[in-house]
Chain A
């Protein structure tokens, strides 16, 4: 169709000119692809190739080093943290999203909460860590208030804010809004007619949720949960700002591998861990895409 605007081409030389025009068209995307090649493809290759590279060429030693106990434990903790915050975020986020759906469509409440969720889902990293320091840090607002008014010391059993439980709490703060954003469209796809149909056939509310709405929403719910998992699994900044001792999760292990003096023979261990992270995230995102495809069949 774009050829319509080209100058009329004599029939005889058409193939050659077509090829030329084609090549010229491709020139237009060269800057973009060159840029992406340098700053996205090369770094990805550096990670992938580096994970298999040793002093004298190809080696599996970086990958076998992933089997070390402390790395396996870090991966385990990362996965646990992501799974727990994804589950909590998904359930609470879904409840909030449902509360919005039952509100007046296009009403102020819904617009405000959706907009706020959009902002809070982006709210992460150092800023969030400091927000929680001001809230339940050792001299935080809530900590002091509870101590003074109810004489409750939330840190009677140790300062858990700077460890995994604290991290889980902080992550929930951006997981719930993210769930609202990704799950709301699916809930909007539920039609009131389906409920009416259930009722006219004598179904109860319980039956409606377990037999009609539940199965319809399940792929969307699972898919959103996976997205939340990937989100928490990739997060680095919040943990880096909050956790001061040790490297309990894998992104912090990568930091150490990047910044500290390299241990002999393990120069590429960071790349191997990075590759491990990519594998986990890719698997999760692939499942998400599959579930998403199933979701749009009914709720698109």
Chain B
């Protein structure tokens, strides 16, 4: 029996390294290639990329896209939190019978591809443009819907981990109003869940292309795509930088997630995105 186990362990080790080697090459090759592709000119592209004034003078569309994306990411994270956190807490405390329905609504965007959503959003955005103008920041409204499933799952997991009801009752019996309950009692307890939701939102918004391009607005992805026709090297460099940023964000996220025990590594990502 011992020999059998040892032989199996050896076989498994060989299998493991073969799989990891082959797939490792497949996954690392494009990243290495991007680095090689962008350094063919001796690093000029990267020097230009980190030199903001020169970059915005050389590629005004690109710098506008980057600024738009950062604005969209910040606003979407804010709107998502303002909309979702109080609702999730409120539903748990006062309307438990509504919870399944809210969950269903929040997960609905997963079954509606972004390309389909944009078809329906076009008339809605005609009104948005009428009231608020055609700024790229108005994409925030659509993005908040897109990130709903991921943000909801992160926040819901956070709320499940604490006893919201007891906390709220304790605070209420000490004379706190509902605003105090949410802002000063529940919110500090779900800090890491809120942070996860915000990180996921930022990562998703920075990678969004479909809606921005089809509603004729700009963001960094639209700019990369546009630039790709004239300056492929710069496009690839920005792609790599954006990817690196997403890497850092999501790694931070998994570190936060790792802090919470319960065997749920990368829990908020578990049924990852639907619309690459």
Contact = CB atoms under 8 A, between A and B. Distances in A.
Nearest to B270: A181
A290 interface: no
Contact of A278 (B1, B95, B111, B236): B111
Nearest to A178: B272
A102 B12 CA distance: 7
- Which among A42, A46, A133, A134 has the greatest number of chain B C-beta atoms within 10 A? A134
Contacts of A125: 207-210, 221, 276
A31 B219 CA distance: 27
B119 A32 contact: no
A240 B250 CA distance: 25
A176 B12 CA distance: 20
A274 B114 contact: no
A135 B120 contact: no
Contacts of A270: 119
Interface in A186-244: 199, 205, 227, 230-231, 233-238, 240-241
Interface stretch (B53-61, B85-93, B154-162, B184-192): B85-93
A25 B33 CA distance: 56
B246 A281 contact: no
B27 A173 contact: yes
Contacts of B91: 29
A237 to B, nearest CB: 4
A114 interface: yes
A135 B276 contact: no
Contact of B117 (A31, A43, A134): A43
B102 interface: yes
A97 to B, nearest CB: 10
B33 A102 contact: no
A77 to B, nearest CB: 15
A233 B250 CA distance: 25
Contacts of B20: 96, 99, 109, 113
A236 B38 CA distance: 26
A119 B251 CA distance: 8
Contacts of B98: 29
Contact of A241 (B27, B38, B228): B228
Interface in B29-72: 29-34, 36-38
A5 interface: yes
Nearest to B1: A199
Given A205-B8, A236-B115, A237-B221, 13 more contacts: A28-B87, A38-B124, A96-B19, A111-B258, A111-B265, A131-B243, A141-B29, A181-B272, A185-B270, A234-B115, A234-B116, A237-B275, A277-B116
Interface of B: 1, 4, 8, 12-13, 15-16, 19-20, 23, 26-27, 29-34, 36-38, 83-84, 86-87, 90-91, 93-95, 98, 102, 105, 108-124, 141-142, 144-145, 148, 165, 168-169, 172-173, 203-204, 207-210, 213-214, 221, 224-225, 228, 232, 235-236, 239-240, 242-243, 246-247, 250-251, 254, 258, 265-266, 269-276
